Amino acid sequence: MQKVNESCQLKEYFNVVNGETCKPQEGEMARSINPATGEAWAKIPLSKEEDAEQVIQSARKAFAGWSSLPARTRGDYLREIGDMISEHAEELLTLETKNNGWVIDEYRYLAVVLKQIWYDAAGAAALLGGQGRTVQIGGGNFGFTMRKPYGVVVGILPWNAPLFTFTMKAAYALAGGNTVIIKPSEHAAVGSLRYGELLAQVLPPGVLNVISGTGKDIGNYLVGHKEVNKVSLTGSKATAEIITKATAHSPKSLVFELGGKSPNIVFADADIEQAVQGVMNGIYTRNAGQICVAGSRILIQRSIYDEVTERVKQYMTDKAYVKFGDTLNTTNTMGPIANEAQYKRVCSYIDETTQDGGEIVFGGKYGGKVLLPEQPEYANGYWVEPTLIKAENMDQKICKEEVFGPVAVAIPFETEEEAIQIANDTNFGLAAGVWTKDLGKAHRLVDRLEAGNVWVNTYGMVGVDLPFSGVKESGYGSDSILDYTYEKACVMNVNE
């Protein structure tokens, strides 16, 4: 993101406040950078505290009317949004690809997923939004509960998957009767601003608002405001710490979906080719490893270690398999790192590893000039090739810290017990993968791995019918209708 003057001839996108699009009050805009080229392609608002106050009041004003609607009526609105997605899917996916560099093929499924989430939220609003429990307390006392919305919810989005996280937060918060403010990352705001504009055409004014700006300029103000009742973050531990401090004077319900250093564990009795494909899909290609559940620690039983790493190498060094270039071209299989700051971070991990004497199994190169020499239009883009680093234990920095790029470590293990010990030797606990034909072993691993999500003989599959959350430093809570409502209890004395 770069500040710009108004003479720049780039398409502008605006905040969505009270059902209308509007510039920030000071009129300041910033460039949005296409990570494939390193060049500006759009302008986004650089909002300030007065703009944040405006969206808070918009959401607060709309809350009474929205929350008082019958749950089924709220569901009707959400279902209409689901119906609308198909009409604008291509536009939104194109914006998202330019926003953060994921190849368009990675997003093809997204239109279906977004529709499914809105439809699921619509059904959940009717089925769960107004339900409660009854309790026979005894002594002439009768207890019951009801589910109530929190009020104004702020959803803070990451730059790697804005439309998906926007939908998860907004759909279920709205289903529960809350009004919503979405703050996208300033590194990838365009798709969310346009998405909000489309949703505002369906929803009553002020029910959903979108504001673009930095965490320093508006983020702290939003989350710390006394009229904001809940905050849901998908992002980093560092941002979660800032939010925790900012809300200390005005405590509120928090949901944190943070990072991970997820183990993808391959046992000798696994289907080797299936496991190799799962390992690659868990960290490489398409999204370039920029996903919170990335299987960035590949644990391989020692007896098959050389075979697995060699097979992965053959795929990842095959130019017919890994193709860089135009992210809107469906034949290309891997995109760039989403922004310059993250690009420099990923490159620094590669450089530090080589300087410390670490062994790179394959990869290690970066930069558009190096990786796309015949495509000069991408010379300034943030490109990093798939990289695998050999590690004998968890002592290396790259084994402990989240890189968030197409960089993985391969760690050998001997026994099931050692695999569990290595897998759990991390401050994170978001996800894990297990590759084995032994059902008993699979169940033991699922039970003992310290992760909120475990996949067996597959990797990365999520669904609206399952929770998605982490443990340890990967956060807590989830974006579900139950998490966006609280249970109010009443005890009534019914004696005459």
% of the chain surpassing 70 pLDDT: 98
pLDDT for the residue numbered 1: 61
By the 8 A CB rule, do 29 and 6 touch? yes
Residue 476 β-bridge partners: 256
Confidence label for 411 from pLDDT (cuts 50, 70 and 90): very high
Q: 31-45, pLDDT tens digit by residue?
A: 999 999 999 999 999
Model pLDDT for residues 317-327, shown as the tens digit of each residue: 999 999 999 99
Q: Which amino acid is residue 197, in one-letter code?
A: E
Residue-wise burial string across 28-41, b where 16 or more C-beta atoms lie within 10 A, e elsewhere:
bbbbbbbbbbbebb
Q: Active-site residue 26, yes or no?
A: no
* Cα dihedral 359, 363, 368, 372 in deg (nearest 10): 150
What are the pLDDT digits (tens) for 332-378? 999 999 999 999 999 999 999 888 777 999 999 999 999 999 999 99
pLDDT-based confidence at residue 309 (cuts at 50, 70, 90): very high
Read off the pLDDT of residues 375-404 as tens digits, 9 standing for 90 and up.
999 999 999 999 999 998 788 899 999 999
- What is the DSSP-derived secondary structure letter of residue 358? P
The crossing angle, in degrees rounded to 10, of helices 71-100 and 190-200 is: 150
292 is catalytic: yes
- In whole angstroms, what is the distance from residue 153 CA to residue 142 CA? 32
Q: Are 314 and 360 in contact (CB under 8 A)?
A: no
- What is residue 130's predicted lDDT score, i.e. its pLDDT? 66
- Return mean pLDDT, the chain: 94
At 209-226, the pLDDT tens digits run: 999 999 999 999 999 999
Burial degree of 466 (CB within 10 A; 0-12, 13-18, 19+): exposed
In one-letter notation, the amino acid at residue 350 is: I
Q: What's the pLDDT at 8?
A: 52
Contacts of 276 (CB under 8 A, 6+ apart): 308, 311, 312, 315
Q: What is the mean pLDDT of residues 464-480?
A: 91
Spatial distance between the Cα atoms of 487 and 131, rounded to a whole number of angstroms: 10
Quick one: pLDDT at residue 45? 98
Do residues 426 and 261 lie in contact, with contact meaning Cβ atoms separated by under 8 Å?
yes
Alpha-carbon dihedral angle through residues 242, 245, 247, 249, given to the nearest 10 degrees: -160
- Cα(115)–Cα(12) distance, integer angstroms: 27
Question: Which position among 292, 385, 402, 450 bears the catalytic label?
Answer: 292
Q: Using the predicted structure, report yes or no on whether residue 482 has a pLDDT greater than 70.
A: yes
Q: CA separation (Å) from 72 to 7, 62, 198?
A: 48, 18, 22
Is 70 exceeded by the pLDDT of residue 129? no
> Percentage of the chain surpassing pLDDT 90?
88
When pLDDT is cut at 50, 70 and 90, the band that residue 206 belongs to is: very high
Q: In this structure, are residues 335 and 287 in contact, taking their beta carbons and an 8 Å threshold?
A: yes
For the chain, the straight-line distance linking the first and the last C-alpha, in angstroms and rounded, comes to 68
Instruction: Judge contact between 280 and 315, C-beta under 8 A.
Output: yes
Task: Write down all domains in the chain, each with its CATH number in brackets.
Answer: 2-258+475-489 (3.40.605.10), 263-464 (3.40.309.10)
CA R_g for the chain? 24
> How much is the pLDDT for 4?
53
Q: pLDDT for 134-167, tens place per residue?
A: 998 888 899 999 999 999 999 999 999 999 999 9
State how far the Cα of 482 lies from the Cα of 124, in Å rounded to an integer. 9
Annotated catalytic residue within 106, 186, 257, 402: 257
Residue 422 has what pLDDT? Answer: 97
Determine the distance from the C-alpha atom of residue 449 to the mean position of all C-alpha atoms in its chain, rounded to a whole number. Answer: 22
- Locate 91 and state its tokens: 């536009």
Asked whether the predicted pLDDT for residue 3 surpasses 70, the reply is no
Distance of CA 9 to the CA centre of its chain: 31
**Do 103 and 332 meet the contact criterion of CB atoms below 8 Å apart?**
yes
Which stretch of DSSP H or E encloses residue 22?
Answer: strand 20-22
